[in-house]
Amino acid sequence: MLTTTRAAVIAVVNQKGGVGKTTTAINLGAALAELDHPVLLVDLDPQANTTSGLGLDPARLRHSIYQLLAGEATVEEAMVETAVPHLSLVPSHIDLAGAEIELAMLDERETRLRKAFQEIPAGVECVIIDCPPSLGLLTLNALTAATAMLIPTQCEYFALEGLRHLLYTHQLVRSRLNPKLEVAGILMTQFDSRTTLSWDVLEEVRRTHPTHVLKTLIPRNVRISEAPSHGKPVIQHDPASRGAAAYRALAKELLER
Ligand SMILES: Nc1ncnc2c1ncn2[C@@H]1O[C@H](COP(=O)(O)OP(=O)(O)OP(=O)(O)O)[C@@H](O)[C@H]1O
Ligand SMILES: [Mg+2]
């Protein structure tokens, strides 16, 4: 059964690479699903890390996000179940690497994902989009389709500069393409409480963006980084780890926000 979506659509976005977008998409998705909120993950990155991190082989799946953007498949046709109850996925495919250029030549190039999301299968409460590390057309499609952006930020020196640029993009998208786009929050990732740098960056980001920084801090945790090689989210790989606790806390914080 299909419905016009009332699901929250969260774009996990940061143009900087390696800050924890994919890790957050997978583990936030799994933690929300564990709380009985059905989640649809959308892998919008040609690297297909969300797809392979959940133990699926992008090359062996029939449909992908590529067909969705091309208007050749619906969400229902493109989505697959994962090994996590209540967590489904629209996978990515390496073909998506060319999509940025192909999209540029299509009509309504920024709104193709939003159009595809007009029909989300009934029961899905939350869609989480894992974006590539750029602010190109794929990410623009995510921001146009989303109700909120979640911004994982690594506790490092250049974080603030990237945030300024991203929040400027938020304003641009709001004024031109999607007036409803909110900021779900800035999520500090790979936080290492033993280093002064982590604390200094946290303090500075809190000072400059007081309303946006989330309470939950994601610690640097080896269980988080090894979970994808087992094709699992951290809450399944090691349910008692600090990483699992942090992503569960994040899910609760976002549900309360
Ligand atoms: N909290 C954490 N603790 C330890 N390792 C982490 C943590 N978060 C992410 N990592 C590791 O850091 C690397 C980058 O994370 P991830 O792939 O989630 O970033 P990304 O922003 O999606 O990268 P890209 O921009 O390339 O898509 C991965 O190897 C991941 O396992
Ligand atoms: Mg990624």
pTM: 0.96
For the chain, how many residues are written? 257
Distance CA 192, CA 240 (A): 19
Q: So what's the pLDDT on residue 2?
A: 46
Q: Ligand 1 centre from 37 Cα, in Å? A: 24
CB of 145 within 8 A of CB of 117? yes
Pairing of strands 126-130, 39-43: parallel
pLDDT at 118: 93
Q: What is the mean pLDDT of each run of 10 residues along the chain (257 residues)?
A: 70 97 98 98 97 93 92 94 97 86 87 95 96 95 98 92 94 96 98 95 95 97 98 98 98 95
Q: Are 190 and 14 in contact (CB under 8 A)?
A: no
Q: Are 27 and 124 in contact (CB under 8 A)?
A: no
- Write down the pLDDT at residue 1: 43
Measured from the Cβ of residue 220, the count of other Cβ atoms closer than 10 Å reads 19
Q: Is the CB of 92 inside a 6 Å radius of any atom of ligand 1?
A: no
Pocket test for ligand 1, best of 15, 23, 158, 214 (most atoms within 8 A of CB): 23
Residue 45 Cβ < 6 Å to ligand 1: yes
For the chain, domains (ranges, CATH) are 2-256 (3.40.50.300)
Angle (CA) 173-215-200 rounded to 5° is 90
What's the pLDDT at 102?
85
198 lines ligand 1 (CB under 6 A): no
